[in-house]
């Protein structure tokens, strides 16, 4: 599989994820407008991937810091985007810094996979939501990095992927990339996940993250909180996987995380509702730290109390 985001020396190459799984099309982003549009319409998505795209996007600004701010503000919830843009702007060599961020994400994904494989040595049936794999990062993923590491080691592993409404990142993207890798995957409606957990059919839940507050509260794709509640009720471990760049020491708790609201048309298009129907369409929710078994990071698995653990790796 091609990388989700790459640099050609003059443009950013991404897989247009709005077209998957019907068509795998690589497009080139040559301007700031291209980058902002791709991030906002989810042609490139996943906190690490949009962070890398944002870092590379700074190279297309021609030194215009206002243009760089447009990129940083394109999606507010994922901390990686602004972190990456500001890191490049603060450096003396923008190109070297942007490419370093890309390389670091590839290595972080590998490390997350290794730590997660060791942590979940006895788990083979994994439940996830949204897409936290190769399509969401510059490397092999975050939550799915654990799956890929287990498969590469010859361990039995299968994934149950919530469809993830309203844009179906689980059904369209997670299922597609896992099938492409030859890993067994079953798609289920979001609302069916608690029933699957109740049947004892899941060994662990692993999800990605868009921002982790200083106390361990996690913002991730809408539906994550519901999974965490159901997993806790049924005694199934619930893990969050992400690189250290997603840990946000400047945000005390999940209550301070800005939650992006998406266009209601995304829901209406699926439900076939009248255009006047009101829709509440948050892109993310916040899972309290108390429901999280561990944070699988490139620095290792962090455990409660998460505040000191997060501070320690930052």
d(CA 25, CA 109): 24
Q: Any known ligand binding at 261?
A: no
Q: Any known ligand binding at 45?
A: yes
Contact at 8 Å (CB) between 220 and 285?
yes
Identify whether 190 is a catalytic site residue.
no
| 90-123 burial: b if 16+ Cβ within 10 Å, else e | ebeebeebbbebbebbeebbbbbbbbbbebbeeb
Which member of 105, 190, 210, 298 is catalytic? 210
Q: Any known ligand binding at 215?
A: no
Q: Any known ligand binding at 172?
A: no
Q: Using CB atoms within 10 Å of the CB of residue 253, give its burial: 0 to 12 exposed, 13 to 18 middle, 19+ buried.
A: middle
Show contacts of 21-29: CB within 8 Å, 24+ apart.
Answer: 21/172, 21/173, 21/175, 21/176, 26/2, 29/53, 29/57, 29/60
Contact at 8 Å (CB) between 108 and 244?
yes
Question: Which pair of structure tokens corresponds to residue 308?
Answer: 């000191």
Element spanning 36, H or E: helix 32-40
d(CA 308, CA 65): 35
d(CA 171, CA 151): 21
Q: Any known ligand binding at 169?
A: yes
Contact at 8 Å (CB) between 212 and 218?
yes
Question: Which pair of structure tokens corresponds to residue 167?
Answer: 């844009």
Q: Any known ligand binding at 150?
A: no
Three-class SS state of 171? helix
Q: Any known ligand binding at 47?
A: yes
Element spanning 301, H or E: strand 300-302
What Rg value do the Cα atoms of the chain yield, rounded? 18
Q: Which residues are catalytic?
A: 210
Residue ranges for the known binding site for substrate are 45-47, 75, 169, 220-221
Residue ranges for the known binding site are 45-47, 75, 169, 220-221
């Amino acid at each position: 599989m091609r990388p989700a985001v790459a640099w050609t020396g003059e443009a950013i190459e991404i897989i247009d994820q709005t077209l998957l799984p019907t068509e795998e099309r690589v497009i080139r982003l040559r301007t700031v407008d291209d980058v902002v549009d791709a991030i906002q319409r989810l042609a490139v998505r996943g906190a690490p991937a949009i962070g890398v795209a944002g870092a590379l996007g700074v190279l297309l600004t021609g030194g215009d810091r206002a243009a760089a701010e447009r990129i940083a503000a394109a999606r507010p919830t994922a901390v990686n985007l602004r972190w990456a843009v500001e890191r490049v702007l603060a450096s003396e060599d923008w190109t070297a810094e942007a490419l370093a961020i890309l390389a670091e994400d590839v290595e972080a994904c590998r490390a997350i996979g290794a730590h997660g494989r060791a942590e979940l040595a006895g788990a083979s049936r994994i439940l996830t939501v949204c897409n936290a794999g190769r399509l969401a990062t510059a490397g092999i993923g975050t939550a799915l990095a654990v799956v890929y590491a287990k498969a590469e080691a010859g361990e039995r592993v299968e994934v149950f992927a919530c469809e993830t409404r309203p844009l179906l990142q689980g059904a369209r993207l997670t299922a597609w990339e896992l099938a492409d890798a030859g890993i067994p995957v079953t798609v289920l409606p979001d609302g069916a996940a608690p029933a699957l957990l109740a049947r004892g059919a899941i060994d662990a839940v692993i999800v990605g993250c868009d921002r982790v507050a200083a106390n361990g509260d996690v913002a991730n794709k809408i539906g994550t909180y519901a999974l965490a509640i159901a997993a806790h009720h049924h005694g199934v471990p619930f893990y969050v996987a992400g690189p250290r760049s997603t840990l946000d020491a400047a945000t005390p708790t999940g209550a301070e995380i800005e939650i992006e609201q998406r266009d209601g048309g995304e829901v209406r298009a699926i439900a076939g509702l009248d255009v006047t129907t009101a829709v509440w369409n948050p892109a993310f929710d916040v899972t309290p730290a108390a429901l999280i078994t561990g944070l699988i990071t490139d620095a290792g698995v962090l455990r409660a109390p998460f505040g000191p653990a997060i501070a320690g790796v930052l």
